[in-house]
Amino acid sequence: MSRSFPNGFLWGASTAAHQIEGNNLNNDWWQLEHAAADHGVQFSGDAADSYHRYQEDMRLLADAGCNAYRFSIEWSRIEPSPGRFSRAELAHYRRMIDTALGLGLTPVVTLHHFTHPIWFGERGAWLGDGAVDAFCRYVEQACTILDGVEWVCTINEPNIVAVNHGQQRRLAEGKEYQFVGALPDAEIGQALIAAHRAAAPLVRAATGAKVGWTVANQAFLPAPGCESKHAEVRHIWEDMYLEPARGDDFVGVQSYTSQLVDDNGVVPHPDHPDNTIMGWAYRPDALGIAVRHTRDVVGDVPLVVTENGIATSDDSRRIAYTQGALTALHETISEGADVRGYLHWSLLDNFEWGRWEPTFGLIAVDRETFERRPKPSLRWLGQIAQANALTS
């Protein structure tokens, strides 16, 4: 049985600059990697050297049959000092856009994917005076190279940014770092919402692109009798960030797993042999839960799955997970969800924010030689893209 997707559907994969480029030595994550090495944070270093090898990476994606590539541009490269912009770096990212277009890949460009310049952090980051203005100043410069880009994400997973920076804030205040159960910091979240609301119309006016942001959907489910706590947690984690997207051109849905919420809050993933390398429950159906909930909150705003994948060393398991996720996605489309694309996380095995062990990629990368080794899952996804349908 063939299950078709809408005409013009985006099929591809996603990456983030810091995780693949290498040597982003002027941002806060590079700084953290050095400061927190004693706490188990690993070093990104050369990463996948995609700063130099992006043409090869895009060609592998296009040759497999996909038609879209989501990547981010690195704020700290473009604005290494406050108010001083690198024309060479802007030209570099313009070449990436041109390469994608030349290969028949629709570029989906993210302006902020977890990292910011060190100088921005030294000024208080998102809670500093003038943070929104500083972000908008960078965005205005980024817009000068976005001609021909149809899809722009302002900020990736603001709810996760609010978690990460909230924990750094706790440490700065002398409080203990919460490794389990941390919630997004609401004050930082409000600053990110303000930044998105200020930046989105700038991008729209300057480029004519469709503009939105991406939200990490946790696909929370209530334990029996815990519906009230479930609604409370879901608002803190997701709805606070989905509600501002109601006026956007699209919203990015990012989903990997599902968790229960009981009266104490989010239930940790229980140990199970099916858990992924990340320690998450194996839940390909989570994507359907995420899309349905996002649609419930944002209404008729179009959706794009901007991240979905599994950390596994078994590529047959990656294919099985993705087959399940796409089956769940197709069901939501059949129910009326306006979904415009599916972008797998990730194109490459990469630096997974402090760890090298989780392998999410459709392409393996030798960390010594940087040789790219496409996995069967890349060819499999490309065949689905070419058919624009699930055929089994």
State residue 179's pLDDT score: 62
pLDDT higher than 90, residue 174: no
pLDDT digits (tens, 9 = 90+) for 185-239: 999 999 999 999 999 999 999 999 999 999 999 999 999 999 999 999 999 999 9
State residue 41's pLDDT score: 87
Q: Which of 246, 243, 275 is nearest to 258 (CA)?
A: 275
pLDDT higher than 70, residue 93: yes
pLDDT higher than 90, residue 388: yes
Query: pLDDT class for 1, splitting at 50, 70, 90?
Result: low
As a whole number, mean pLDDT of residues 98-111 equals: 99
The residues carrying an active-site annotation are: 157
CA 190 from chain center: how many Å?
19
Q: Which of 368, 362, 358 is nearest to 49 (CA)?
A: 368
pLDDT higher than 90, residue 40: no
pLDDT higher than 90, residue 243: yes
Question: Alpha-carbon dihedral of residues 19, 352, 340, 108, nearest 10 degrees?
Answer: -10
pLDDT higher than 70, residue 175: yes
pTM: 0.98
pLDDT above 90 coverage of the chain, percent: 93
Supply the mean pLDDT for the chain: 96
pLDDT digits (tens, 9 = 90+) for 265-279: 999 999 999 999 999
Distance CA 231, CA 21 (A): 39
Extract the tokens encoding 147. 């001609």
Top pLDDT among 178 and 302 is at: 302
